[in-house]
Amino acid sequence: MDQSITWTAVVLILTGMCVGEGILPPGPLSGAVAGAVKFTTTLKPPEKPFLSVSWSFKGVNIITSTSVNVTDPGHADRISLDRATGALELRGLVLEDSGEYTITIIPDGGLQKLGTTTLNVFAPITGATIRSPAATLIEDKSSTNLTCEASGSISTRVWLKDGHPLPPSDRVSFSIDKRAVFIRPVQSSNHGTYQCRVSNPVSSMTASYNLTVNFGPHNISIIGPAEASPGHRVMLQCTADSVPPANFSWLFNGNETQVNTSSYIIERLGEENIGNYTCTASNLVTMMENSTIIYLRASCAAPCWSFSVLVISTLALRRLI
């Protein structure tokens, strides 16, 4: 009789009929250090309690529950077993709890059921920060790098600039582990806020860094009317793309004025105000400057026609002299 029972068991094992398919949900499971995780099964409580429920970790028994429980001393205060379904809760997780877990269930009448899954334990991410060498960066003359640091189990690092993904380019490159980004050389487009998003399956953290690239002045222009009615107030506004903000100065017909702001204001347009206005923007860090010119004239509507003639005659007289 004993030989018959043994032979039946061997046949079941060889045919795979003893393995309970889908007894554990697909893994891996993720857990945080000091946290808890529950290995649930797909089983419903049977009419008759299971004869035996066993869990092992890396081939070493954690708990075997029959009429009594036999528990590994290292897990005694950290596990709870649901005898009805075989589910196991593991608390106080440590990194060393990562690995393969196996459940073996022997029903009261039926086939042995097996299930295996994997647990990955991660240390929560803390202290994320971005570091960069302290230096004054000037467009096309300087290079720099940003380094993303954090504590914990780091699975991924993602770099962003001004809220958008930062792609590699002919000037932007990354270290293999994405820990550092290199910019050689910097340009005005590299000026802005950089973010490094560090994550693992149980936590994430984002660090920010404002990178200052000194550049310009670029795109200098004068906003204002090219012509205006005599007696009217006229304002010319000079703009330029520059970091730090540009300093401004104005020339009128090639002569220096006392205006050193971005705005040139004429309270009442007169004959003496007709001519070329030159705005010069300068950057004291990049040591660059740029200029633009606008010609201001009186409008030629009928009411100011005589005035326009007067202006032309006066200018012609000055040229003759």
Tens of pLDDT, residues 188-204 = 999 999 999 999 999 99
- 100 plus 158 within the same structural domain: no
Q: How far is CA 280 from CA 216, 219, 252, 289, in A?
A: 12, 12, 12, 7
* One domain, residues 223 and 302: yes
Read off the pLDDT of residues 128-140 as tens digits, 9 standing for 90 and up: 999 999 999 999 9
Residue at a domain's end among 75, 101, 122:
122
Residue pair 278/293 in contact (Cβ under 8 Å)? The answer is yes
Q: Which 8-state DSSP code applies to residue 45?
A: P
Residue type, 125: I
pLDDT score recorded for residue 21: 52
Q: Which domain holds residue 179?
A: 126-211
Tally of domains within the chain: 3
Helix/strand/coil (H/E/C) assignment for every residue in the chain: CHHHHHHHHHHHHHHCCCCCCCCCCCCCEEEECCCCEEECCCCCCCCCCCCEEEEEECCEEEEEECCCEEECHHHCCCEEECCCCCCEEECCCCHHHCEEEEEEEECCCCCCEEEEEEEEEECCCEEEEEECCCCCEECCCCCEEEEEEEECCCCEEEEEECCEECCCCCCEEECCCCCEEEECCCCHHHCEEEEEEEEECCEEEEEEEEECEEEEEEEEEEECCCEECCCCCEEEEEEEEEECCCEEEEEECCEECCCCCCEEEECCCCHHHCEEEEEEEEECCCCEEEEEEEEEEECCCHHHHHHHHHHHHHHHHHHHC
> What would the mean pLDDT of 247-269 be, rounded to a whole number?
97
Counting beta carbons within 10 angstroms of the beta carbon of residue 264, is it exposed (0 to 12), middle (13 to 18) or buried (19 or more)? buried
What's the pLDDT score for residue 2?
40
Who has greater pLDDT, 308 or 50? Answer: 50
Q: How far apart are CA 7 and CA 195, in angstroms?
A: 65
Can you give the pLDDT at residue 22? 72
Whether residue 264 sits in one domain with residue 283: yes
Of 185, 211, 237, the position where a domain reaches its end is 211
The answer to pTM > 0.85 is no
Q: What is the pLDDT of residue 231?
A: 93
Residues 206 and 263 placed together within one structural domain of the fold: no
Contact 105, 65 (CB under 8 A): no
pLDDT greater than 50 at residue 125: yes
286/226 same-domain check: yes
Q: pLDDT tens digit string along 292-315?
A: 999 999 986 544 433 333 333 222
Best CA proximity match to 48, nearest among 114, 111, 112, 109:
109
pLDDT at 313: 26
Q: Per the structure block, which two tokens stand in for 215?
A: 């550049």
Whether 15 shows a pLDDT value over 50: the answer reads no
Kindly state whether residues 8 and 111 are assigned to the same domain. Answer: yes
- CA 218 – CA 221 distance, rounded (Å): 9
Last residue of a domain, one of 122, 145, 168: 122
Least Cα distance to 171 among 180, 158, 162, 182 occurs for: 182
Q: Mean pLDDT, to the nearest integer, of 219-235?
A: 95
In this structure, the answer to whether residues 40 and 97 fall within a common structural domain is yes
The CATH number that applies at residue 192 is: 2.60.40.10
Q: Work out whether the CA dihedral 101, 106, 107, 113 comes out positive or negative.
A: positive
Q: What is the DSSP letter of 125?
A: P
Supply the pLDDT for residue 17: 35
The letter for the amino acid at 67 is: S
pLDDT of residue 65: 96
Same structural domain for residues 94 and 132?
no
